C-alpha cells in the first residue's frame, strides 16, 4: 500500500521557537484556530472568537475548517517563509472537537511534510488519539496542568464535561488529573516532546507550583512553562491580581530545580503567526478572514473513487467488513486502479469512520455493497459520496462519472444480510 504520510522527510525539531529560546528570533510559528469548543470551564478563562484588540490565549478573529486552515497556511508561508511550526492551540481545546484537529494535522503533514506539528490541550480527552498523533508525526504537545492535588484543582475548574456528563468539584478535578497523568505517560512512551503549561493563580495554586514540577519531572515532562494568570473581567478569578514579575521569577527559580523553565512565553493568541517577538497576527487578519469565508470542504480537489471489493472485479463488500479499499482514477484512456489503502481497524466506534475519511481524503465517492447510517452521514459531511451498488466496478465508475442514476445497480441484499453497520464500528455483526 502506498503510504499516506511520508515519514522519511527529515524534520529539524530544534526549530521550534517555544521549545528552543535560542532560535526564537529566527524561526516562527502559526496557530491555526480550528478548535472553537472546550470541554471544561476554567475560572480564569474567557474565550473570545472575535476580539482584535486582545493578545492572549483563547482569542481569535476567525475560526477555520481543516481545509481552510491548510489554504491559510499556504498563503502565510508565501509571505513569511520563516514559519517552521504549525500548531493548534484553540481557541477552545484541541480534543473537544478531535476530528477537526486530527484532520487538520493530517492535511498539514501531507501538504507540508517538513513542518513541525504541535498542539496544546488540557489533557482531558487526548488519550485515545495519541497513537494517531504519533502516526501523523506530531512531535510536540503542551498539556495545561494547574494542580496535582484535586483539593486545589476543584477551586480552579467550574465544570468538566466528559462526553455528555458534566462533573464539578472534587470529582471533576480527580478525573482530570488522572487523565492528564495517563496522557503524559503515553505521549512520552511515543517519543513526543511534552511541555506543561501551569497558570499561576495567586492565593489558589501559587504555593503549589513546586509540587507540580516534581510530579511532572517523574512523568518525564521535558519543559515547564509557568504562566502568570491574566485577570479576565467577568470571570470568577477576574478580581485576583496578576502575579508580578518578582513572584514569577521566584516561582520559576524554585520549579527549575526539577524541570527546565520556559521564560520567553508571549501568551500567544489562538491565531498567532510570525516570530515570538514579532507577531504578525494583525497583519494576516484579513487573509485569515478571507480563508474562513471560503468553501469549508474544498471538494474540488477530490478526483478519485474508493471501492470495496473482494476480488477486484465486483463491488461486493459492505463498508464495515472491508479491510482495504481500491482507489480508482479516470483519464482519456478509461479507468485505472491506482493503489490500495488499508481500512481502519474495527472496533473504534465513530472514530473509525472519521479516520476512514482522512484515509480517503482525496476521494469524491466510495462504492460499497452496503453502508450504515452513521458512516454514511460522516462520509457525506467530509465530501465523500457513499454509493450502494452491486455489479462490475468499471460499470459503476462510468455511471458515477456521467451522472447516471445509480438505481440500476441498487443493492437487493447486503452481503451480510443486514441493512446497517454496527454503531460500534466493528463491521458487520
| Distances from the Cα of 13 to the Cα of 73, 118, 140, angstroms | 19, 11, 9
Q: What is the mean pLDDT of residues 46-69?
A: 69
Residue 210 exposure: Cα atoms within 13 Å on the Cβ side: 7
User: Is 47 in the same domain as 187?
Assistant: yes
CA distance 59 to 120: 14
- Is the distance from CB of 367 to CB of 306 less than 8 angstroms? yes
User: Is 200 in the same domain as 320?
Assistant: no
- 415, part of any domain: no
Q: How confident is the model at residue 426 (pLDDT cuts 50, 70, 90)?
A: very low
Q: How confident is the model at residue 419 (pLDDT cuts 50, 70, 90)?
A: very low
Average pLDDT, the chain: 85
Question: Per residue in 210-227, pLDDT tens?
Answer: 999 999 999 999 999 999
Evaluate if residue 331 carries a pLDDT over 90. no
Residue that terminates a domain, selected from 275, 292, 309: 292
Evaluate if residue 421 carries a pLDDT over 70. no
- 25, part of any domain: yes
- Which residues, in sequence order, are bridge partners of residue 87? 31, 118
Question: Per residue in 383-408, pLDDT tens?
Answer: 888 888 888 998 889 888 766 655 65
Residue that terminates a domain, selected from 268, 292, 316: 292
3-state secondary structure of 409: helix
User: Is 79 in the same domain as 198?
Assistant: yes
User: Is 48 in the same domain as 102?
Assistant: yes
User: Is 204 in the same domain as 83?
Assistant: yes
Evaluate if residue 300 carries a pLDDT over 80. no
- 8, part of any domain: no
User: Is 282 in the same domain as 400?
Assistant: no
| Proportion of the chain above pLDDT 90, given as a percent | 52
Residue that terminates a domain, selected from 250, 265, 292: 292
17 Cβ contact partners less than 8 Å away, ≥ 6 residues apart:
23, 24, 26, 27, 28, 29, 84, 85, 275, 276
- In the block, cell 470551564 appears at 41
Containing domain of residue 331, as a range?
300-409
DSSP string, 317-385: -BGGG-SEEEEEEEETTEEEEEEEEEPPPTT-THHHHHHHHHHTTTEEEEEESB--HHHHHHHHHTT-E
Evaluate if residue 429 carries a pLDDT over 60. no
- 424, part of any domain: no
Domain total in the chain = 2
- In the block, cell 465486483 appears at 314
Q: What is the CATH number of the domain that holds 207?
A: 3.20.20.70
- 421, part of any domain: no
**Dihedral pair phi/psi, residue 218, rounded to 5°:** -65, -30
Residue 418 CB burial class (10 angstroms; 0-12, 13-18, ≥19): middle
User: Is 189 in the same domain as 334?
Assistant: no
CA distance 285 to 271: 9
Evaluate if residue 422 carries a pLDDT over 50. no
Q: How confident is the model at residue 32 (pLDDT cuts 50, 70, 90)?
A: very high
- 427, part of any domain: no
Q: Is 75 left (phi over 0), alpha (psi -120 to 50) or beta?
A: alpha
Q: How confident is the model at residue 266 (pLDDT cuts 50, 70, 90)?
A: low
- 2, part of any domain: no
112 Cβ contact partners less than 8 Å away, ≥ 6 residues apart:
73, 77, 86
User: Is 285 in the same domain as 312?
Assistant: no
User: Is 215 in the same domain as 271?
Assistant: yes
Amino acid at each position: 500500500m502506498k503510504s499516506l504520510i511520508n515519514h522519511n522527510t527529515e524534520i529539524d525539531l530544534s526549530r521550534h521557537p517555544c521549545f528552543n529560546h535560542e532560535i526564537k528570533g529566527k524561526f516562527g510559528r502559526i496557530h491555526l484556530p480550528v478548535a472553537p469548543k472546550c470541554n471544561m470551564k476554567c475560572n480564569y478563562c474567557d474565550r473570545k472568537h472575535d476580539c482584535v484588540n486582545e493578545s492572549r490565549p483563547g482569542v481569535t478573529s476567525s475560526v477555520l475548517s481543516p481545509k481552510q486552515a491548510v489554504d491559510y497556511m499556504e498563503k502565510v508561508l508565501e509571505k513569511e517563509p520563516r514559519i517552521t511550526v504549525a500548531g493548534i492551540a484553540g481557541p477552545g481545546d484541541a480534543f473537544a472537537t478531535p476530528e477537526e484537529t486530527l484532520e487538520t494535522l493530517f492535511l498539514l503533514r501531507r501538504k507540508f511534510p517538513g513542518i513541525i506539528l504541535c498542539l496544546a490541550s488540557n489533557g482531558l480527552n487526548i488519550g485515545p488519539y495519541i497513537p494517531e498523533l504519533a502516526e501523523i508525526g506530531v512531535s510536540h504537545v503542551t498539556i495545561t496542568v494547574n494542580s496535582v492535588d484535586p483539593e486545589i484543582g476543584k477551586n480552579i475548574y467550574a465544570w468538566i464535561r466528559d462526553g455528555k456528563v458534566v462533573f464539578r468539584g472534587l470529582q471533576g478535578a480527580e478525573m482530570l488529573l488522572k487523565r492528564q497523568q495517563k496522557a503524559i505517560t503515553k505521549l512520552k512512551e511515543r517519543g513526543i516532546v511534552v511541555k506543561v503549561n501551569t497558570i499561576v493563580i495567586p492565593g489558589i495554586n501559587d504555593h503549589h507550583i513546586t509540587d507540580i514540577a516534581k510530579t511532572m519531572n517523574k512523568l518525564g515532562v521535558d519543559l515547564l512553562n509557568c504562566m502568570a494568570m491574566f485577570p479576565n473581567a467577568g470571570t470568577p478569578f477576574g478580581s485576583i491580581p496578576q502575579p508580578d514579575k518578582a513572584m514569577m521569577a521566584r516561582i520559576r527559580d524554585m520549579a527549575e530545580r526539577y524541570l527546565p523553565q520556559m521564560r520567553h512565553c508571549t501568551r500567544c493568541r489562538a491565531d498567532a503567526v510570525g516570530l515570538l517577538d514579532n507577531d504578525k497576527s494583525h497583519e494576516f487578519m484579513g487573509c485569515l478572514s478571507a480563508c474562513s469565508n471560503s468553501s469549508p470542504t474544498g471538494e474540488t480537489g477530490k478526483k478519485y473513487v474508493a471501492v470495496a471489493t473482494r476480488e477486484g472485479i465486483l463491488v461486493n463488500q459492505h463498508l464495515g467488513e472491508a479491510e482495504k479499499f481500491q482507489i480508482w482514477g479516470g483519464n482519456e484512456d478509461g479507468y485505472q486502479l491506482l493503489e490500495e489503502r488499508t481500512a481502519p481497524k474495527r472496533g473504534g466506534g465513530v472514530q473509525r469512520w472519521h479516520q476512514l475519511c482522512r484515509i480517503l481524503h482525496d476521494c469524491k465517492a466510495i462504492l460499497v455493497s452496503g453502508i450504515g447510517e452513521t458512516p454514511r452521514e460522516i462520509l457525506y459531511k467530509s465530501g465523500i459520496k457513499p454509493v450502494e451498488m452491486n455489479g462490475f466496478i468499471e460499470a459503476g465508475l462510468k455511471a458515477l462519472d456521467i451522472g447516471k442514476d445509480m438505481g440500476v445497480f441498487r443493492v437487493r441484499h447486503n452481503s451480510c444480510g443486514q441493512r446497517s453497520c454496527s454503531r460500534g464500528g466493528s463491521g458487520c455483526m
